Amino acid sequence: MIRIIRNSIVFLTIILLAGGCTIQRNPVSGNKRLMAYSWNQEVQIGQEVDKEFTAQYGLFDDHNTTEFVDKLGHKLLEVSHMRREDTDRQFRETEFYFRVLDSPVVNAFALPGGYVYVTRGLLAHLNNEAQLAVVVGHEIGHVAARHASQRAMRQSLGQIAIIGGAVLGQEFLGLPGESILNMSSQAAQLIFLSYGRDAERESDRLGVEYAAKAGYAAGEGAAFFTSLKRISEEAGHSIPSFLSSHPDPGEREKTIPELAREWAEKGYEQTEKNEEQYMELLDGMIFGENPREGFLDNDRFVHPELAFQFSVPDRWRLINERQQVILVSSSENAVMIFRIDGESESARESVEGVTAQEGISVNSSSETRSSGRYTAYKADATIEQDQEDLRALIWAVEYDDRIYRFINYTPVGSFEEYESAFTAVPESFDELTDRDILDVRPVTLQVSRADRDGRFEDFLPDELPMNISAEQVAIINQAELDEQIESGRFLKIPVQ
């Protein structure tokens, strides 16, 4: 399915997971083939990476939603290859976990060993449980076919993966990817693993098979791939980089119904859509970015929940993640990384915890202030690299019983160009006092039935919140703006 994270612009250096290879059975085909890991290793890897991943991106905190997805996942699991009588016991007894991530990105993926994830962004783009069944079944298929272990056999040591189509070079980031994302290279390897078209097509077939055998109207899954195509077009390109290794969404629009018909011809009734209960689940769900967790307000980043703000230089791109904020220069050769330091007890300790690392030498350091009133500490440092060294300004500030830290860096030759911005941003860190921003609420989906016949766009309010476009609302409803909507049809409208 879709890879993660479209909005990030950070490189990872991918390192192959340790060691060796083994002849192992494939639960789907039943055949033995060369795998990178044993099944026990896959389970262990999944356990370890799941902890990192859920900590990094966060779980969606809604019991009804998580219970719904978990129940569906286990229903599909029971008809999958992982639970069949002729499947090896080690596979049949493996426990599966189905998670909902608190992310607006339209995404679903799986880790080896039985960990399946969907985002609230994906849930918002589906219209019934049958569509979700095909998506979750697809991800179970990746685990059952052991695609991660197969693909890892073909990965080259040290391969570089790009998140979201970034065009930065490895020499720019310099620091290991895991130190930036606070994630191990093992997690990076699996999260950004590209399966390839053959594996994706196999998982498409498995997703339809599992959904059909569980009684769902599997052909409904085609509508989601129509939405993917429209999301791509709305973003201004035909196939986004995170889908480049996947079959074209247009192709999948056609093949999903064909696969569903094949299972119907084999005698599997596919009647369950469960639209009403699914729409009840979406009613009131957060849609898009949650402004409570920070957003760009003109030339400043504001965080209502933690009540702080800092300036953002003109033409710098901002990426707001759950545990950090990243600013990237327009020429993509300088970066600022901001996050809470939960380990240090003072600003000085926070900065010195970075500069004490091997390969970093301090040019100067001193006590300072942010916004003229908050205790802070800064250090100008050089980071040794194989090619051009990096020069960094590391700045930490004490605010509201927390330590906030900026790590700002660029190649040595570019430091003069960015020094003023590197200083101005942490210097501007201040308390947020704007009551309108402090009280801002997230956009949620309001689900109701159309009270009349009419064009879809006629059901939209005159003004949509948070720069959401009419086309985006049409996409989440799997409708066209000029499409005739019949009275009684469910509609999902973002409100704030």
Q: Is 31 exposed, middle or buried (0-12, 13-18, 19+ CB in 10 A)?
A: exposed
**Confidence check: pLDDT of 237 > 70:** no
Q: Which residue has the tokens 């197969």?
A: 150
338 strand-pairing partners:
325, 406
Question: Which residues touch 292 (CB under 8 Å, ≥6 apart)?
Answer: 304, 305, 440, 441, 442
Per the model's pLDDT, the better-predicted residue between 172 and 363 turns out to be 363
Amino acid at 309: Q
**Confidence check: pLDDT of 408 > 50:** yes
| Confidence (pLDDT) at 240 | 35
Per the model's pLDDT, the better-predicted residue between 31 and 181 turns out to be 31
The whole-angstrom separation of Cα 322 and Cα 22 is 37
- What pLDDT band is residue 92 in, cutting at 50, 70 and 90? very high
**Mapping DSSP to helix (H, G, I), strand (E, B) and coil, where does residue 158 land?**
coil
Mean pLDDT of the chain: 85
**Mapping DSSP to helix (H, G, I), strand (E, B) and coil, where does residue 254 land?**
helix
| Confidence (pLDDT) at 307 | 98
pLDDT in tens, 409-457: 999 999 999 999 999 999 999 999 999 999 999 999 999 999 999 999 9
**359-367 average pLDDT score:** 96
Portion of the chain with pLDDT greater than 90, in percent: 67
* 468: its two tokens: 């959401």
| Confidence (pLDDT) at 153 | 56
**Confidence check: pLDDT of 118 > 90:** yes
**Confidence check: pLDDT of 190 > 60:** no
pLDDT in tens, 271-325: 999 999 999 999 999 999 999 999 999 999 999 999 999 999 999 999 888 888 9
**Confidence check: pLDDT of 16 > 60:** no
Residues 199 and 151 sit within 8 Å (Cβ to Cβ):
yes
| Confidence (pLDDT) at 482 | 97
| Confidence (pLDDT) at 22 | 65
The whole-angstrom separation of Cα 401 and Cα 407 is 20
**255-260 average pLDDT score:** 96
* 167: its two tokens: 């065009």
| Confidence (pLDDT) at 36 | 67
Per the model's pLDDT, the better-predicted residue between 470 and 232 turns out to be 470
- What pLDDT band is residue 148 in, cutting at 50, 70 and 90? confident
| Confidence (pLDDT) at 385 | 83
pLDDT in tens, 324-346: 899 999 988 999 999 999 999 99
Q: How many CB atoms lie within 10 A of CB 212?
A: 27
| Confidence (pLDDT) at 285 | 97
DSSP secondary structure letter of residue 4: S
